[in-house]
Structure 1
Amino acid sequence: MNDRQLLRYSRQLMLPQLDYSGQERLLRSRTLIVGLGGLGSPVALYLAAAGVGTLVLADFDSVDLSNLQRQIAHTTATIGQSKAISAAAAAQSINPEVEVECIDDLLSPAQFMPHVAAADVVIDCTDNFVTRFTLNALCMEAGTPLVSGAAIRFEGQVTVFDPRRDDSPCYRCLYPDELDDEENCSRNGILAPVVGMIGTTQATEAIKVLAGIGEPLVGRLLLLDALHMEWRSIRLARDPQCPVCAHRMTAAHCTTRSA
């Protein structure tokens, strides 16, 4: 790190858990953020501010007036612009030293897989179950940690799925069946700060994974009830019959026996 970086990240460098070595890991890391709406906005801005070296921002949607109530990476001036490009400009206005790449086209899972495999962590900030299930499957196949978040009305949830750990469940363990995408903000509403609370929690979990500090939310689902301002955590176990991640457990057991 140069003198300017030492000053920029000085408040993080003071943290003994992170220190110089942890900040260096952040600067060398590559993060894929999928969805630059209410959740992805604070994730992108905080990870840029924290010094995550490369941010890959993926969203094929464009900024709409109705987004501005909660999607803080965008402004009235960027209405009609690609959300990925709008968020990239916002992130680099905070920290021009961060490298930002944009994916603003709708890609097939096969086309998206190299981006997942190249990332040190993937952050799911999407608002539909089809994309969440697809991202989960890609991350499990690539062995890339996945930070998952969701928010609706006054409620939200965050968890971390880490295929590098034998005890980690996956998104399909949490939701075994395909779910109805009627449950989204455009149909049910959302209180603006709730996505900020969930998004900043996702950013914190991503930094912990990237820097190798603390205990990420692997095997735990953190739930927010903002109407009563209550957080609670529940245990989430692996499903031995999971069609997505059960083969990892079987392979691990086979490797152990053959050794």
Structure 2
Amino acid sequence: MIKNRYIRQTTLRGFGEEGQRKLQNSSVLVVGAGGLGVPVLQYLNAMGVGTIGIVENDKVELSNLQRQPIYSEQDIGRPKISVSIEKLQAQNSTTKFHCHNEFLGTDNVLEILKSYDVIVDATDNFPTRYLINDACVILHKPFVYGALHAFEGQVSVFNYQNGPTYRCLFPQMPGKDEMPDCNVNGVLGILPGIIGNFQTLEVIKILTGIGQPLSGKLLLYDGLVQMIQQVSFEPKVENQTRNTLEENYQYKSCDLSALVTPEEFQKMLLSKSQYQLVDVRSPEEFRDFHLEDTINIPLQELPNRISEVDIKRTVVLICQSGIRSEKAFNYLTEYLDGAIYQLEGGLQNYTQLWK
């Protein structure tokens, strides 16, 4: 331990050198190096957590820079995990980093999570969040949750010392249309920094034993009025005794026959069939990366541009994860009669064919 580096912590009453040693001997996995993950990573690293793992498989996009300040314009197009580790190592050369350049799934989640003391959920989608929860219950790992919407955020600690799990608070995964999508509704750039730092504080409390972690409590933050509230909830035994993962953690589509798997989609692209690819992501996302012969109609513009959808051909709707494409599907099938499909799991699922 470099004593002077952490002197403001080692001289802190109630933390001291013992607390610093606990951090040095601890390991934390951060799932996601985006809006929430960036502040979590920067402060865990600065404060002296000995081993940090990062799960991330995206590349830096221009639209990330508004809320992910570890990245710069020169990093656009580069893998987030490479850039983040490069800059974190420059911040603290004593930290050990483990790179998991992949998406979490039922096939790898238990193997990846098993060697870490605390798991941080810095994701932005429900399927991954439920997957993390169930894996943590099986492995008896605490995980720190954070979520964002517009000017508001949430933080809690799950599966800590026989405390409630994520499913004790949210028993079932909501449908895609039941919860807001930050890709469509937006988020104020500073908010991920605030919520991410709240998450980091919870990690530090768990690792060192100081204070009272937010186990059994959901912290609600409203940035517009600077108000913080806490809601208490109780554990449910049936959610604390899980032994296996679910078969899959995908959103349940309202029309499974409308889903095109990545393998089917690839065969379609290689065939001579007549099709139209409609990408419903934002213009910024589309400029950063898109498939050839694709038109871009952002989801929010779809009602005014519905005439651009060519129902004389097979239409395949595309987005990043499948959330926006299903919303587009639901809208289009209400007004158009034709062969309309959506790419299952979005581009992030399709690109896994080449990993």
Normalized against structure 2, the TM-score is what? Answer: 0.65
1:181 Cα deviation from its structure 2 partner: 4.2
Query: 1:55-82 CA distances to partner (integer Å, 9 max, x unpaired)?
Result: 1010111110000000122111111111
The whole-number CA distance in structure 1 between the counterparts of 2:155 and 2:134 is 18
How does 1:84-233 map onto structure 2 within 5 Å? 84-163=81-160, 165-166=161-162, 168-181=163-176, 183-233=180-230
Query: 1:17-73 CA distances to partner (integer Å, 9 max, x unpaired)?
Result: 211111011011110000111000000000000000011010111110000000122
Instruction: Determine the structure 2 residue equivalent to 1:78.
Output: 75
Match of 1:45 among 42, 45, 55: 42
Instruction: Determine the structure 1 residue equivalent to 2:27.
Output: 30
Where do 4+ consecutive residues of structure 1 move more than 3 Å? none
Letter in 1 for 2:75: T
Q: Secondary structure at the match of 1:9?
A: helix
Whether the aligned pair in 2 keeps the contact of 1:129 and 1:181 (CA below 8 Å) is no
1:180 Cα deviation from its structure 2 partner: 3.3
Whether the aligned pair in 2 keeps the contact of 1:56 and 1:103 (CA below 8 Å) is yes
1:209 Cα deviation from its structure 2 partner: 0.6
Whether the aligned pair in 1 keeps the contact of 2:146 and 2:156 (CA below 8 Å) is yes
Whether the aligned pair in 1 keeps the contact of 2:134 and 2:242 (CA below 8 Å) is no
Whether the aligned pair in 2 keeps the contact of 1:223 and 1:233 (CA below 8 Å) is yes
> Which has more radius of gyration?
2
Q: Percent identity?
A: 39
Instruction: Determine the structure 2 residue equivalent to 1:63.
Output: 60
Whether the aligned pair in 1 keeps the contact of 2:137 and 2:241 (CA below 8 Å) is no
1:16 Cα deviation from its structure 2 partner: 1.7
1:247 Cα deviation from its structure 2 partner: 5.8
Consecutive unaligned residues in structure 1, runs of 5 or more: 249-259
Instruction: Determine the structure 1 residue equivalent to 2:251.
Output: none
Consecutive unaligned residues in structure 2, runs of 5 or more: 244-355
Whether the aligned pair in 1 keeps the contact of 2:218 and 2:231 (CA below 8 Å) is yes
The whole-number CA distance in structure 2 between the counterparts of 1:45 and 1:109 is 28
Q: For this pair of structures, how many residues does the alignment match?
A: 241
Deviates more, 1:154-163 or 1:103-112: 103-112
Query: 1:111-142 CA distances to partner (integer Å, 9 max, x unpaired)?
Result: 22122111010000000000000000000110
Q: Secondary structure at the match of 1:139?
A: helix
Structure 1 residues 99 and 194: CA distance shift in structure 2, 3 A? same
